[in-house]
Amino acid sequence: MTGDAGWSAADALAARRIAVIVNGKSRRGRELFRAACEGLEAEGFTLTAAHALRNPRLLGTTLDRVIAEGCDVIAVGGGDGTLAMAAGKLAGKPILMAVLPFGTANSFARTLGIAPEVGPAVAVIADGDVARADVVAVGDTHFINSATIGVPARIAEDIPPGLKRWFGRVGYLLYGCWKFLTLKSFEARIAIDGQADVVEQVLEIRVGNGAFVGGLRVIDGADPESRDVVIQLVRGRYAAALAGVWAASLAGWRPARSRVRELRAQAFTLSCTPEQPLSVDGETGTCTPVTFTVEAGALHIIVPKGSNATSRTRDAGTGFMDVLD
């Protein structure tokens, strides 16, 4: 952690001054932005800055400007990719981040136990606790919830924008079913310092700083305050094996251990044969081989009052009906 040694996240929140930056590319995003600003003002916050960005590529420069203006509590609204980009910027700084879950799956918000609606999210900001969350560096980017190889990455690569816009999480599930038809297994090698390399023939890899992927709880034990990540290797050669694992997750069950091997690490290198694309909090552009490093407790963040890893994932829901709600 760098910055002013006398700075306190709790004092910053108590000052009731906040900047709001939202991915406002869609009309829905702009409507949620207005509702969030009104809700925060009703809770006694003074808005030091408020930006609904129609071009998400401006998020980085807008964050830089808001930081330079001296804002030390920033609410970021959007999907997991937007939140991850902001977290990478804010990690290691004396700045408190608040989450406005305005995306499709909202996996990181679910991991924290924040319901993906404006009212509950604003209530958490107004009455929540402050915590230190891990941020994970992977290649030249960061994530706060998960990175995946397999069907989620293939979905993120080329899902039609209209399918995502009009059908939301259900659209992800439908497109995922289509991707199963061309699924092929690959060899994964995980290298952790001081340990023998782990080599498996797999259909999917999940690296979790949070428990949710695509709005479903699939990485039990992963939590952004654990100071490590959970690595799940879904073993198998044929799509049917992966279908069984996802079916168990949809039902809220834990998959058989013979199908999913789990590891925990603070840093590791992942390579695949053939090379594989990653979905990093829903964003593409990263491929294996790649190194993961946990930046422990690097992000000051607002979480539901009195929450912990168990209560957060329980309150966020776990199964298929929760995804459809």
Residues 97 and 111 in one domain: yes
Residues 161 and 201 in one domain: yes
Residues 165 and 272 in one domain: yes
The whole-angstrom separation of Cα 298 and Cα 132 is: 7
Element (H, E) at 105: none
pLDDT tens string 135-186: 999 999 999 999 999 876 666 666 666 555 565 556 666 666 666 667 789 9
Residue 43 is part of which domain span? Answer: 9-134+298-317
216 phi/psi in degrees, rounded to 5? -110, 140
4 lies in some domain:
no
The CATH code of the domain that includes 214 is 2.60.200.40
pLDDT tens string 88-123: 999 999 999 999 999 888 999 999 999 999 999 999
SS3 294: strand
Residue type, 154: R
Can you read off the two tokens belonging to residue 308?
């912990």
The CATH code of the domain that includes 128 is 3.40.50.10330
SS3 288: coil
2 lies in some domain:
no
Whole-number Cα distances in Å, 321 to 45, 129, 176, 214, 249: 35, 29, 17, 13, 12
Residues 246 and 187 in one domain: yes
DSSP label at 238?
S
57 lies in some domain:
yes
Residues 156 and 122 in one domain: no
Residues 191 and 264 in one domain: yes
Residues 122 and 154 in one domain: no
Domain count of the fold of the chain: 2
Q: Cβ neighbours of residue 210 under 8 Å, at least 6 residues apart?
A: 107, 108, 110, 111, 112, 144, 145, 146, 219, 222, 223, 224
170 lies in some domain:
yes
pLDDT tens string 19-51: 999 998 866 888 999 999 999 999 999 999 999
Q: What is the pTM of this model?
A: 0.86
Q: Cβ neighbours of residue 126 under 8 Å, at least 6 residues apart?
A: 40, 43, 44, 45
